[in-house]
Structure 1
Amino acid sequence: MPRLPGKRIFVEMLIAHGTRYLFGNPGTTEQQLMDVLQDYPQLEYIMGLHESVAVGMADGYARAAGRPAVANVHIAAGLGNALSMLYDAYRGGTPLILTAGQSDTRLLMYEPTLTANLVEMARQFTKWSYEVLHAADVPQAVRRAFKVAAQPPTRPVFLSLPMDMMDDEADVEIRPLGEVATRVRPDPAAIDRAAEMFLQAESPALLLGDRVASSGAVAEVTRFAELVGARVYTLNATEVVFPTGHPLYLGSLNTGNPATREVLQSFDLVLAAGGPLFQQFLYLPVQFLGPNTKVIQLDDDPWEVGKNWPIDLGIQADPKLGFADLYEAVASRMSGTDREKAAGRIAAAEAFKRHLRDKFEQEVRAVWDTRPIAPARLARELKNAVPPGTILVDEAITTSPAIQAAFDFDEPGTYFRIRGGAIGWGLPAALGVKLARPERPVVAVVGDGSAQYTIQSLWSAAHHRIPVTYVICSNRSYRILKANLRNYLKFSGQGNRQSKFIGMDLTDPDLDFAALARAYGVRGWRVESPDDLGEALRSALRADGPALVDVVLDGRL
């Protein structure tokens, strides 16, 4: 076995696990790592000018690649700066390995500058948080980090790397974790019971979350929905969990809107899979399901099953295997009458979807020439401009519904949206997505308020020559806050009150994102006229390198 210092053991273990990129922002406690990287050109350092940029890039990479990404930040201050993106990764279930340098352990008793208990700082937003004290422990610490991050339910882990440990030497074997099979089949008795419940249902629905996507279960879910004629909605889903152009797909349910109750009241059976059931941000005294609605919950995260809502049947299993087994159990029991009923439900859903699409087309036509530009016009122009195979990264916030209505995301891995709610994810995440999928065009649509949280991402795009096209939705406000405040006043009986929306406008001076882009070395366009929008988008998409289009949007509620 070779005798190596901790810094080389760490880097070689990352390489042994197939790590190609290390996302980071360096500091003095990381100096050993930063120096040794020059000896390992196969591990490329992708630099962010702020720790939230580094972790946001890693999050996007991990989600698009479907494997753990690795990031490194600077001791307590850097970890503190990274916590918002770590929170998003934790709430969304991203397999991410975050590391940070730590002071020399011989100094810790003396409370050196920038030192804190890093393990405790990271613990609440990670599955496992640990400080590696001995170089000999680095191989197993890295193996465990990859195992825990990638094992369902996937989430981030954290390793603290003290300076003296990185210089200590040990005789070690550089050996990766190896393959770990994590798929678990459902209980056959539970599948049989679920099948009987579907055969008895007259109006079934599927409510899907992101773990359907991470399980690779889209094809199985689609096949099952078509078999039983179930309408499909998403709950907090931020990736493609069902083809959105499919006749049975009817959109995302907003648990912050009482109208969601009206949508769900007609169903006598609901199967929730791969996501949180009725996770709310704002309290509403609403019972979303009727008292006679039966509920099945299928998930590979045992914590989610029955956590927020009483269920009739919980099934802990891999979603891909669960839906495959459920299909076989239902199909083998279906009569001709059952199949006719399912076909009738599909026809009714298809007619309803045509109605929704016709309504959206009417809305687009009604605002086509308005100025400032309407979000619906932007969404349609963008759809017409992007080349086939484009991956869309969405942190458009209040423009997201228009994006989702204009596009059909039918291929898994072609749509990624912010999850967790800590804004600033979109700009850096798009860079990580592009590094994971270099063969695909990547377009990020980001709100102007969100973009300012991680605007330094533009430097990383230019410096590393990552050809992402950014579209900034400049409504010159935190429009989502205005909408939420207006709803609060409405639902609390204060609907007649006129709020001044203090602290919610991004004006005086206006933000010029095209100028900011050019300052960071990125080509920029600013569009105010709807007639100029299509050509500006196409020009940016043709650019050789990163580009940004700043679109001045109508911010009225």
Structure 2
Amino acid sequence: MNTKGLNGAEALLHVLRGMGVETIFASPGSEWAPVWEALAKSGGTGEYPEYISFRHEETVIAAATGYYKATDKLPGVIIHTTVGALHATMALRAALHERVPMVVFAGESIAFGEDDSPDPGAQWLRLLTDMGGAAPLVERCVKWTFGLNTAALLPATIHRACQLAMAEPAGPVFVSVPMEMQFATMKHDAPPGVYVQPSTPDPAAMDAIAERLIAAKRPVIVTEGVGRSVAAVASLVALAERLGAPVLEGRNPSFMNFPHGHPLYGGLCDTAQLKAYLNDADLVFLADAVIPWHPPSALPGPNTSMVMLGDAPLYPQVPYLGLRADLVVQANVAQSLPMINERVNKKIDAGARAAMVKEWGAKHEQARAAWRDRAQSAGKVGVIDTAWVANELNAVLPANAIVVDETITHRYDLYRGLEAMQPGSYFEAAYGGLGMGLGYALGVKYAARNRPVITTIGDGSFNYNPVVASFGACQEHGLPALILVMNNSGYLSQKGGIPKYYPDGAAVRSRNFPGTTITPSPNYAALPLAFEGVGERVVKPGDLRPALLRGLEAIGAGKLALIDIVLAEVNPKK
């Protein structure tokens, strides 16, 4: 790539575009003037990536994550020096754990006005610089970091950063770019714009997996991340049908990994449910999934073998896994599943496991019927329940809708109840930390402007989000989303630990649960009005569906919409 003679900012933009980066997600910062000048000079010709600002570092990393999940395209990210890096770290940690690639740049100063380059300003010496720069501050939350120490390395470093981000297992990388180097004239070209080609799964390893699956009489499949590829989901469906194996999703599915209406869908994992499915299982196949039972030593039994497949099956970012597996294969799941299917299909005829499919299908339908009964019953009481929310969403969601979820205690109800959703239409936004749901939704909407985006978010999660920055970006960039606040006026997950550990304790006896309330409950519905949006508060179950329809109509007209859905309070008044 030709970068010789360009200044550092132009080279940065040129290399990113040459590596296929179409969008730079940014938050404000004073050190990127050369980049802004280069963008202004280009006049939106497509020479450089599109630049879009999201007003807050946590929001911008979340938006880049949502964008990648919806497109599989590498995003660039620009943030503000060490302070911006610190704002961004929680969302970067989530991206690392979810294997979401992005190239993140933070500016800094290394000369403090003492050399011949343009003076960055006195604020750098006093307020904006830390020992070692920004890169060391985030190194445990990203895949790779580097602080540029000479302008000569700038083009090749950006090229390398893109390659490293996308190489399996993918993840965020971080480059600190001194402002002085953005002005400097580049003396070298960047390497050619090529990526490392993913390795082809080892045929012998695929043979080994297939042989175990074929030999198993009662296999069970568990996944959390197959849904990152819609094609991989189709392959998993074909494999499950041929094996007659039920498919369960792990405790924290980041995607919709299996059609919820399929007779082999076993639902979300909890330990009690897993025991029911694993009672007679002779093999568990973990396909892109962390061990779903807890503690790790609890299951499976000694007579059940376990096979693990994933591009990072040992999850090196996790300190403890408690792994007890008979076969562990590191390989791209989307590439591996068709190879496994080919081998299985040669040994098991279509329809040979029809009796098992029928058996699991009956169990599936029994669970769905119980769920529907619960959802319908929930609509007949005076207080809205999350099962009723899921029921009403099923009734009104357009076929092309995308749901972004940042709930905690309501997640299982909502996810179980979204029967109509298909792979590629659901993204989980909570991965160990809260405050990213609105940013996720923005990134997904930016990637899929013609599809309605609905965000389900707990009131506790909502309070962690940079709401003003997110709503402002919705308004500025024309990214309307329907936000459903699950409002129980508190933190149910926090309260749940007290009776669990102290069932007869003082808190339970006095009904005093310190720190678990969000009261008085704010007028959440008023917030979108400041951004030319609409909002309403719903208290009665019968009023929810009309409100959802109005919300969908509003975002169809290009407006931000929020519905404050009032649930039973965490701590009812005495």
Relative to the length of structure 2, the TM-score reads 0.88
Count of matched residue positions in the alignment of Structure 1 and Structure 2: 546
Q: Is 2:433 the partner of 1:422?
A: yes
1:313 maps to 327
Instruction: Give the SS at the match of 1:309.
Output: coil
Q: 1:511/1:388 Cα in 2 relative to 1: closer, same or farther (>3 Å)?
A: same
Q: Is 2:276 the partner of 1:276?
A: no
**Partner Cα separation in structure 2 for residue 147 and residue 355 of structure 1:** 48
2:121 maps to none
2:375 counterpart (348, 364, 369): 364
Structure 1 residue 193 displacement after superposition: 3.3
**Partner Cα separation in structure 1 for residue 281 and residue 143 of structure 2:** 36
1:23 counterpart (22, 25, 28): 25
Instruction: Give the SS at the match of 1:29.
Output: coil
2:267 maps to 251
1:186 maps to 202
**Partner Cα separation in structure 1 for residue 127 and residue 356 of structure 2:** 65
Q: Is 2:140 the partner of 1:138?
A: no
1:383 counterpart (376, 394, 398): 394
**Partner Cα separation in structure 1 for residue 9 and residue 228 of structure 2:** 36
**Partner Cα separation in structure 1 for residue 19 and residue 293 of structure 2:** 35
Q: Do the aligned partners of 2:430 and 2:437 also contact (CA within 8 Å) in 1?
A: no
1:46 counterpart (45, 52, 66): 52
Structure 1 residue 52 displacement after superposition: 0.8
**Partner Cα separation in structure 1 for residue 6 and residue 379 of structure 2:** 65
2:302 counterpart (291, 303, 307): 291
Structure 1 residue 459 displacement after superposition: 1.3
Q: Do the aligned partners of 2:405 and 2:437 also contact (CA within 8 Å) in 1?
A: yes
Q: 1:212/1:19 Cα in 2 relative to 1: closer, same or farther (>3 Å)?
A: same
Which residue identity does 1:209 align to in structure 2?
E
1:234 counterpart (249, 252, 271): 249
Where does the alignment leave 5 or more consecutive residues of structure 2 unmatched? 115-123
Q: Do the aligned partners of 1:4 and 1:172 also contact (CA within 8 Å) in 2?
A: no
**Partner Cα separation in structure 1 for residue 69 and residue 472 of structure 2:** 22
Q: 1:409/1:91 Cα in 2 relative to 1: closer, same or farther (>3 Å)?
A: farther
1:152 counterpart (163, 168, 171): 168
2:495 maps to 482
Q: Is 2:421 the partner of 1:407?
A: no
Q: Deviations over 1:255-294 (max 9, x none)?
A: xx566445433311001111222486xxx48512111110
Q: Is 2:517 the partner of 1:505?
A: yes
Structure 1 residue 350 displacement after superposition: 0.6
Instruction: Give the SS at the match of 1:170.
Output: coil
Structure 1 residue 499 displacement after superposition: 6.0
Q: Do the aligned partners of 1:183 and 1:321 also contact (CA within 8 Å) in 2?
A: no
Which residue identity does 2:22 align to in structure 1?
R
2:346 maps to 332
Structure 1 residue 175 displacement after superposition: 6.4
Q: Do the aligned partners of 1:205 and 1:269 also contact (CA within 8 Å) in 2?
A: yes
**Partner Cα separation in structure 2 for residue 440 and residue 243 of structure 1:** 20
1:115 maps to 129
**Partner Cα separation in structure 1 for residue 502 and residue 72 of structure 2:** 42
1:300 counterpart (299, 311, 314): 311
**Partner Cα separation in structure 1 for residue 283 and residue 410 of structure 2:** 32
Q: Deviations over 1:329-380 (max 9, x none)?
A: 22222379xx54x222111111011111111111112220333311112111
CA RMSD of aligned residues (A): 2.7
Q: 1:193/1:359 Cα in 2 relative to 1: closer, same or farther (>3 Å)?
A: same
Structure 1 residue 309 displacement after superposition: 1.3
Q: Is 2:536 the partner of 1:536?
A: no
Structure 1 residue 194 displacement after superposition: 2.9
Which residue identity does 2:71 align to in structure 1?
A
Q: 1:399/1:437 Cα in 2 relative to 1: closer, same or farther (>3 Å)?
A: same
Could you tell me the percent identity over the aligned residues? 29
Q: 1:448/1:113 Cα in 2 relative to 1: closer, same or farther (>3 Å)?
A: same
Relative to the length of structure 1, the TM-score reads 0.91
Q: Do the aligned partners of 2:297 and 2:322 also contact (CA within 8 Å) in 1?
A: no
Q: Do the aligned partners of 2:165 and 2:173 also contact (CA within 8 Å) in 1?
A: yes
1:171 maps to 187
Q: Deviations over 1:227-258 (max 9, x none)?
A: 0111111123210222222111111213xx56
Q: 1:486/1:64 Cα in 2 relative to 1: closer, same or farther (>3 Å)?
A: farther
Q: Is 2:77 the partner of 1:71?
A: yes
Structure 1 residue 21 displacement after superposition: 2.6
- The correspondence of residues 491-530 of structure 1 with structure 2, limited to 5 A, is 500-508=512-520, 510-530=521-541
Q: 1:258/1:487 Cα in 2 relative to 1: closer, same or farther (>3 Å)?
A: farther
Structure 1 residue 440 displacement after superposition: 1.5
2:233 counterpart (189, 199, 218): 218
Instruction: Give the SS at the match of 1:451.
Output: helix
**Partner Cα separation in structure 1 for residue 431 and residue 6 of structure 2:** 40
Instruction: Give the SS at the match of 1:332.
Output: helix
